[in-house]
């Protein structure tokens, strides 16, 4: 199923929109920040790959990622991918979403991550009509865990020593989810 882009949207003093060429250098600057990469599986993104990936989003039938702008400055990126739910043959396709976010460390702790998670959930459920959205984080990334919980997502799993971290070895991952029915009765 093809969906129209849910962006642009204004909420909580932020503009959520598609990325443009002028955004790429700013996205690269905080995407490859060592503090950010401490909590990422993919710890470095090649600048050419990042440019290509972000500029391809508006044409993608499954990638609805966005940049987050405050007062004319890009301060975060939000990821929203439409995926197939698991199941037996004949399972409907394109029913689920995966979300994530990266906030520029210079503006961390100002509610931008929480606003971004809510905007992604709103886009997934209200804009794209998805039935289920999931997100994951390192278990010790307390800021990201707090964002997911504040957005109304429910913790579904703890995967013990599931992800390799080059400094810490095998670490725990937590998974969160929200169903469309829960969204309609929750913070959305």
Q: What is the pLDDT of residue 143?
A: 93
> Quick check: is 81 in a domain?
yes
Query: How far apart (Å, rounded) are the C-alpha atoms in residues 40 and 32?
Result: 10
Phi-psi region of 84 (alpha: psi -120 to 50; beta: other; left: phi over 0): beta
pLDDT tens for 133-179 read 999 999 999 999 999 999 999 999 999 999 888 788 899 999 999 99
Estimate to the nearest angstrom the gap between the alpha carbon of 10 and the chain centroid: 17
Q: Please indicate, yes or no, whether the overall pTM of this predicted structure exceeds 0.85.
A: yes
Asked if 118 contacts 101 with a C-beta cutoff of 8 angstroms, the reply is no
End-to-end CA distance of the chain: 24
> Quick check: is 23 in a domain?
yes
Q: What is the pLDDT of residue 35?
A: 75
Which whole number is the average pLDDT over 64-86? 96
> Quick check: is 160 in a domain?
no
> Quick check: is 144 in a domain?
no
- pLDDT score of 85 more than 70: yes
Domain that holds residue 127: 9-131
> Quick check: is 93 in a domain?
yes
Please choose, from the candidates 16, 26, 72, the residue with its C-alpha nearest in 3D space to the C-alpha of residue 51. 26
- The enclosing domain of 115 has a CATH number of 3.40.630.30
Total domain count, the chain:
1
């Amino acid at each position: 199923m093809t969906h129209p882009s849910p962006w642009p949207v204004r909420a909580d003093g932020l503009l959520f929109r598609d990325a443009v060429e002028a955004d790429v250098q700013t996205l690269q600057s905080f995407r490859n920040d060592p503090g950010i990469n401490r909590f990422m599986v993919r710890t470095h993104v090649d600048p050419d790959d990042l440019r290509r990936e972000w500029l391809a989003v508006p044409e993608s039938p499954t990638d609805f990622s966005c940049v987050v702008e405050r007062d004319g400055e890009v301060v975060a990126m939000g990821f929203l991918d439409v995926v197939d739910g698991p199941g037996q043959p004949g399972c409907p396709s394109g029913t689920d979403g995966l979300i994530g976010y990266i906030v520029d460390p210079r503006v961390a702790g100002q509610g931008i991550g929480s606003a971004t998670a809510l905007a992604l959930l709103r886009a997934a459920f209200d804009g794209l009509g998805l039935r289920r959205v999931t997100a994951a984080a390192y278990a010790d990334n307390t800021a990201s865990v707090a964002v997911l919980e504040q957005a109304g997502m429910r913790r579904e799993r703890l995967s013990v020593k599931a992800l390799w971290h080059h400094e810490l070895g095998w670490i725990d991952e937590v998974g969160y989810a929200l169903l469309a029915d829960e969204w309609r009765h929750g913070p959305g």
